[in-house]
């Protein structure tokens, strides 16, 4: 019996696979049970990409097996073990009864949907339940709320500086290393010919992973993507190897080419670490400290190291803060009142637009696209084409292996669709074909002509961009960052404006037939 005399059922969810997860931090081998469950509800609340399912389920099984090998009592429910469609709360309830537990300990889940389910179940479950804050982040929701209080605008840059001070990362006393907080301007080089980054470290599936792959192919054949090959790491040890390989091979050029897009280079110099960070196999502060060390050792330049650390302690923490601060209704925001459905080609990649075809095709293959592909290609198109933000949110939540609502929703709804009217971003990330042409090699292979502004052969981004600007003038022209855009629009000849409207009407009518 434990020193407290209490027999606990300690629960770990599929994205809490760390010994630092609060519900298991003080696990007592003599009396406690670790409980984990694969449940149909979690596997199907969106049609998760097959690679995402394989990552989560295999990592869960490995985590449980490692604890068991270390002498813990583990109760693990596999998908298919339960005769009826199961949920986390129903499985936790049954497990507490099975083990004759006195109390249950949970860690806060990463989304409102599950939090609500827990909150509805807890008062009626017949057990004492402790729901602990998930402190595996640098900033807690309470701390973020205090930071946000009284501010007219919430801007990542100022929040990020606080996180730099708090963590001491890239600081010399009170001043930032390099006397500059942000090297964003040095993170935007277009792609050059002949870039040859190393591929992310891949791991051959072991027996556990092969079982999971078979299970997914059997139970979820209609989910997007495929498992051939499946190469993600599924243990902390493998995730640490992936971190080391990124630091040694790609970090030095991460900064320069962060925004570049190349058709046959799906990963460029990116880390491909969000898949591990978001399920707990890596710790964000430890990752940033490792990356900072690469700068201090002279292995990687400041623009790369600062750029990486900004994404993790800046953007990642900032979007999580917004998610919990803005509450459950945040997901319903639709500032532009966009109502078009998601075009079917988002599920196939079959479109003549080479940039969309490349990014969607890569997404379906890898369950991965980097930030600018998500923001400036698939996100930008959805916003310009007036797609319902909730529909595009569900797509992002399904197709990316790193997608959990706390991080995906603010990025999609706030950053990429401006559906929150400017809570997260100071202006819409809208761009014409010119930006895509500058930052990628897509346009050279496209049947549309990026230099052409009007007519059936023109790049659709060109006229959709101006049509979006014109359509939403009332909502956007008061934004100080949009002034130049509206001045340019106002200088355009009436004939040109009519062409924009006609081209957009024709394109949207074909894309969204009524
Ligand atoms: P790198 O480019 O190597 O960046 C390093 C790390 O910084 C990432 O691993 C990630 O943890 C963090 N990071 C970078 N940008 C962001 C950001 N904007 N928000 C939060 N963390 C960031 N990220 C997710 O983790 N899950 C999502 O579901 C997700 N959905 C997105 C949806 C849209 C529409 C957009 C525009 C962005 C989304 N992002 C999401 C942010 C970003 O695209 C991914 O974090 C990044 O592409 C992951 O790849 P990487 O690990 O190679 O990142
Ligand atoms: C994503 C996911 C999947 C696919 N399956 C499970 C599962 O079977 N059991 C589980 O505990 N967690 C799973 N997860 C992760 C949860 O969906 C995640 O904890 C919530 O979305 C909150 O972030």
| DSSP of 84-137 | S---HHHHHHHHHHHTT-SEEEEE--SSHHHHHHHHHHGGGSSSEEEEE----S
What integer pLDDT is reported at residue 322 of this predicted model? 98
Tell whether the model's pLDDT for residue 1 goes beyond 60.
Answer: no
What integer pLDDT is reported at residue 113 of this predicted model? 97
Which tokens go with 80? 């298919």
Tell whether the model's pLDDT for residue 106 goes beyond 90.
Answer: yes
**How much distance in Å is there from the Cα of 37 to the middle of ligand 2?**
9
**How much distance in Å is there from the Cα of 274 to the middle of ligand 1?**
6
The pick from 110, 251, 371, 431 for probing ligand 1's pocket by mutation, whose C-beta has the most ligand atoms within 8 angstroms, reads 371
Give CA–CA dist 431/285, Å, rounded.
34
What integer pLDDT is reported at residue 353 of this predicted model? 98
Q: Tell me: the pLDDT tens digits for 253-276? A: 999 999 999 999 999 999 999 999
Tell whether the model's pLDDT for residue 63 goes beyond 60.
Answer: yes
What integer pLDDT is reported at residue 483 of this predicted model? 97
* CA-proximal residue: ligand 2, atom 10 (nearest): 14
Peptide bond into 229 cis (omega under 30): yes
**How much distance in Å is there from the Cα of 98 to the middle of ligand 2?**
22
CB atoms within 10 A of CB 384: 25
- State the pLDDT confidence band at 3, using cuts at 50, 70 and 90: low
Which H, E and C letters describe 307-366, residue by residue? HHHHHHHHHHHHHHHHHHHHCHHHHHCCCCCCCECCCHHHHCCCCCCHHHHHHHHHHHHH
Residue with tokens 């309470």: 142
Give CA–CA dist 372/260, Å, rounded.
8
What integer pLDDT is reported at residue 184 of this predicted model? 85
> For residue 267, which of 369, 408, 196 has the smallest C-alpha distance?
369
**How much distance in Å is there from the Cα of 213 to the middle of ligand 1?**
25
| DSSP of 244-290 | HHHHHHTHHHHTTTTT-BBTTBSSTT----HHHHTTTSS-HHHHHHH
Atom of ligand 2 lying closest to residue 36 CA: 11
Q: Tell me: the pLDDT tens digits for 428-458? A: 999 999 999 999 999 999 999 999 999 999 9
Tell whether the model's pLDDT for residue 187 goes beyond 80.
Answer: no
403 pocket-lining for ligand 1 (C-beta < 6 Å): yes
Average pLDDT value over all residues in the chain: 96
Average pLDDT over residues 10-32: 97
Average pLDDT over residues 181-197: 85
Nearest-Å Rg of the Cα atoms of the chain is 24
402 pocket-lining for ligand 1 (C-beta < 6 Å): yes
> Which DSSP letter does residue 387 get?
B
53 pocket-lining for ligand 2 (C-beta < 6 Å): yes
Question: Over the range 299-309, which residues count as b (16 or more CB within 10 Å of their CB) and which as e?
Answer: ebbbbbbbbbb
What integer pLDDT is reported at residue 397 of this predicted model? 98
Q: Tell me: the pLDDT tens digits for 473-508? A: 999 999 999 999 999 999 999 999 999 999 999 999
What integer pLDDT is reported at residue 2 of this predicted model? 59
Average pLDDT over residues 307-325: 98
Tell whether the model's pLDDT for residue 146 goes beyond 80.
Answer: yes
318 pocket-lining for ligand 1 (C-beta < 6 Å): no
- State the pLDDT confidence band at 84, using cuts at 50, 70 and 90: confident
Atom of ligand 2 lying closest to residue 109 CA: 22
CA dihedral (173, 174, 178, 183) in degrees, to 10, reads 140
What integer pLDDT is reported at residue 453 of this predicted model? 97
What integer pLDDT is reported at residue 74 of this predicted model? 98
CB atoms within 10 A of CB 382: 26
Ligand nearest to the CA of 91: 2
Average pLDDT over residues 295-304: 96
What integer pLDDT is reported at residue 80 of this predicted model? 79
Q: Tell me: the pLDDT tens digits for 215-242? A: 999 999 999 999 999 999 999 999 999 9
* CA-proximal residue: ligand 1, atom 9 (nearest): 274
Looking at per-residue pLDDT, the higher value among 389 and 85 belongs to 389
Average pLDDT over residues 367-390: 98
Q: Where are the alpha helices (DSSP H) in 110-206?
A: 112-121, 141-148, 156-167
**How much distance in Å is there from the Cα of 169 to the middle of ligand 1?**
20
Average pLDDT over residues 287-304: 97
Tell whether the model's pLDDT for residue 57 goes beyond 60.
Answer: yes
Threshold 0.95, pTM exceeds: yes
Which tokens go with 90? 């129903």
> For residue 226, which of 237, 217, 218 has the smallest C-alpha distance?
217
């Amino acid at each position: 019996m434990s020193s407290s005399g209490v027999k606990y059922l300690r629960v770990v969810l599929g994205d809490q696979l760390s010994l630092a997860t609060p519900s298991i931090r003080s696990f007592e081998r003599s009396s406690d049970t670790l409980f984990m469950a694969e449940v149909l509800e979690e596997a199907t609340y969106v049609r998760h990409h097959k690679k995402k399912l394989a990552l989560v389920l295999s990592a869960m099984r490995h985590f449980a097996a490692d604890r068991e090998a270390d002498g813990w009592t583990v109760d693990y429910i596999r998908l298919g073990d339960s005769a009826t469609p199961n949920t986390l709360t129903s499985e936790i309830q049954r497990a507490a009864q099975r083990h004759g537990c006195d109390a249950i300990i949970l860690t806060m889940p990463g989304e409102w949907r599950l939090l609500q389910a827990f909150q509805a179940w807890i008062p009626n479950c017949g057990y004492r339940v402790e729901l602990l804050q998930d402190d595996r982040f640098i900033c807690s929701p309470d701390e973020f709320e205090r930071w946000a209080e009284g501010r007219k605008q919430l801007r990542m840059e100022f929040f990020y500086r606080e996180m730099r001070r708090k963590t001491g990362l890239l600081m010399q006393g009170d001043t930032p290393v390099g006397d500059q907080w942000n090297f964003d301007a040095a993170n935007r080089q277009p792609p050059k010919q002949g870039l040859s980054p190393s591929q992310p470290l891949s791991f051959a599936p072991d027996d556990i992973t092969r079982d999971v792959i078979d299970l997914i192919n059997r139970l979820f054949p209609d989910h997007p993507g495929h498992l051939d090959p499946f190469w993600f790491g599924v243990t902390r040890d493998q995730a640490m190897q992936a971190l080391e390989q990124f630091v040694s091979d790609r970090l030095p050029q991460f900064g320069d080419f962060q925004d570049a897009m190349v058709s046959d280079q799906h990963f460029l110099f990116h880390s491909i670490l969000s898949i591990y960070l978001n399920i707990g196999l890596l710790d964000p502060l430890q990752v940033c400290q490792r990356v900072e060390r690469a700068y201090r050792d002279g292995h990687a330049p400041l623009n790369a190291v600062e750029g990486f650390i900004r994404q993790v302690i800046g953007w990642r923490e900032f979007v999580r803060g917004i998610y919990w601060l803005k509450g459950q209704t945040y997901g319903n925001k639709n500032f532009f009142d966009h109502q078009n459905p998601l075009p079917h080609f988002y599920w196939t990649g079959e479109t003549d637009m080479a940039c969309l075809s490349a990014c969607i095709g890569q997404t379906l293959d890898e369950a991965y696209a980097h930030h600018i592909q998500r923001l400036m290609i698939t996100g930008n198109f959805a916003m310009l084409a007036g797609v319902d933000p909730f529909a595009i949110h569900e797509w992002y939540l399904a197709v990316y292996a790193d997608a959990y609502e706390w991080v995906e929703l603010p990025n999609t709804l706030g950053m990429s669709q401006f559906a929150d009217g400017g809570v997260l971003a100071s202006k819409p990330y809208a761009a014409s074909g010119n930006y895509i042409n500058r930052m990628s090699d897509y346009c050279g292979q496209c049947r549309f002509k990026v230099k052409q502004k009007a007519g059936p052969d023109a790049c659709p981004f060109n006229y959709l961009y101006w049509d979006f600007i014109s359509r939403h003038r009332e909502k956007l022209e008061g934004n100080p960052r949009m002034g130049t855009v509206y001045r340019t629009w106002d200088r355009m000849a009436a004939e040109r404006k009519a062409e924009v409207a006609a081209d957009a009407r024709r394109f949207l009518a074909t894309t969204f037939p009524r």
